[in-house]
Homo-oligomer: A and B are copies of this chain.
Amino acid sequence: MPRVVIIGGGFGGLEAAKALRKAPVEVTLLDRRNFHLFQPLLYQVATGSLSPGEISAPLRATLRSQKNVRVLLGDAVSLDAERRVLILADGAIEYDVLIVATGAQNFYFGNKDWEHAAPGLKSIEDATAMRHKILFAFEAAERETDPARRDAWLTFVIVGGGPTGVELAGALAEIATDTLRHDFRSIDPQNARIILLEGSPHVLPSYPEDLSIAAEKSLIKLGVRPRAGIRVTRIDADGVTMDNGERIAAKTVLWAAGVRSSDFGQALKDHAGAALDRQGRVIVEPDLTLPGHPEIFVAGDLAHFEQDGHPVPGVAPVAMQQGRYAARVIRDRLRGTQTVPFRYFDKGSLAVIGRRSAVVEIGKLHVTGAIAWLMWLFIHLMYLVGFQNRVIVFLRWGIQYLTFDRGARLITGKIPAPEKVEVPMWGR
């Protein structure tokens, strides 16, 4: 039977594997991690609402009953396209068809040193590190006696006003005004400044302007200060500098501004002649294959696919549809039939801002407020993988809506070394 190897257990890879359920092929799903991660809710881990396990589903359990799939834990580093061999960090695996769905990673526009000061949000480890940074800032502010330094600990800058940036800013505002409201003795968390920086004229630049403006109004109501049309020129441990020369002193800077495709794109360029765009995405044929390599598909964030003159966006629905499409082409080929070119069917976009506040675009229909928020909740619960996860997340959201609490506010991992080495004396 033909051997199909899928790299990546994200939205694209998992959907491809599922869509091959009844095909006469042997599928190997390879991932560095043993779980599928529901990235749209990662910001809720970063802001203490959900635990990592609640938005992750073990790949083996998800594909348990699908007998033609095996799951392998491994790291794909290269390939020999002539001999059809995928090279892992610790082995190699032959394929007849390869589906590459390795996704995207944080990208700092060439400023590698920003990464340490402004963590991004792509993995579970990113999310727990960001949670650590956010919660630790309030703890440090509580202990800080110098007013300027205390203000810097209570200033949060989010770089990038796309959906992730907006969601992070909204959640941070709720942490400061509701969750932590009565938790401190020296500081008032409500004094926290949450600043959302966006280079375009409005936040949510990919949305229609009326929804962008509605989102800005909602953010301002929550206490966020959105600043659009502004770019960051420097990020360090003490704050950010902007292109108008202004400096914001902030101990917490979060990155939501850019991603680039994963490193496997480079391997496809070097060893299979793929062409990459400026973000490192692989330019694919109308059937999502590489030019000259009909046996190699690219799906999801790694793929550059043009439709109506624009590349399709790097969102979960695109990845899922592309994964399913690649599986369909494989099935059609085995049957000897032709497949029509891939076409992304845009069901709409939605971004949440906070409690009873979201924006939804479904074609000409623009929805804001509580109804949009309920739609967001429903769709995210529906697509979340794993029955147990759905029940737990539903329950957590219900409890948190009623109590204003957040159940997963842990500072884990290494506590940063104290900045001061002197031992100041402080009573009360």
Contacts and interface: CB of A to CB of B under 8 A. Distances in A.
A407 B423 contact: no
Given A395-B392, A410-B52, A425-B85, A185 B405 contact: no
Interface residues on A, range: 35 or more
A403 interface: yes
A237 interface: no
A427 B93 contact: yes
Interface string A119-155: 0000011000000000110011011000000000000
A185 B70 contact: yes
B143 A426 contact: no
Given A74-B143, A143-B91, A34 B411 contact: yes
- Oligomer: number of copies: 2
A423 B92 contact: yes
A72 B182 contact: no
Contacts of A391: 395, 399
A117 B334 CA distance: 49
Contacts of A418: 89-91
Given A64-B182, A75-B415, A399-B391, A124 B92 contact: no
A273 interface: no
A182 B65 contact: yes
Nearest to A65: B182
Interface in A51-86: 51-54, 56, 58, 60-61, 64-65, 70-75, 85
Contact of A51 (B51, B186, B425, B427): B51
Contact of A34 (B26, B94, B410): B410
A54 B409 CA distance: 10
Interface in A380-394: 386-389, 391-392
A388 B405 contact: yes
Contacts of A34: 135, 139, 409-411
Given A26-B428, A72-B143, A87-B423, A124 B412 contact: yes
A427 B35 contact: no
A112 interface: no
Nearest to A398: B391
Contact of A426 (B53, B91, B185, B392): B91
Given A407-B389, A413-B125, A423-B91, A54 B52 contact: no
Nearest to A93: B426
A300 to B, nearest CB: 21
Interface of A: 3, 26, 32-35, 50-54, 56, 58, 60-61, 64-65, 70-75, 85, 87-94, 124-125, 135-136, 139-140, 142-143, 180, 182-186, 386-389, 391-392, 395-396, 399-400, 403, 405, 407-413, 415, 418-421, 423-428
Given A35-B409, A52-B412, A392-B392, 10 more contacts: A51-B51, A58-B410, A73-B139, A73-B415, A124-B412, A388-B400, A388-B403, A388-B405, A391-B399, A392-B396
> Considering the complex of A and B, which 3 residue pairs feature the smallest CB-CB distances, nearest first?
A90-B418, A53-B408, A51-B51
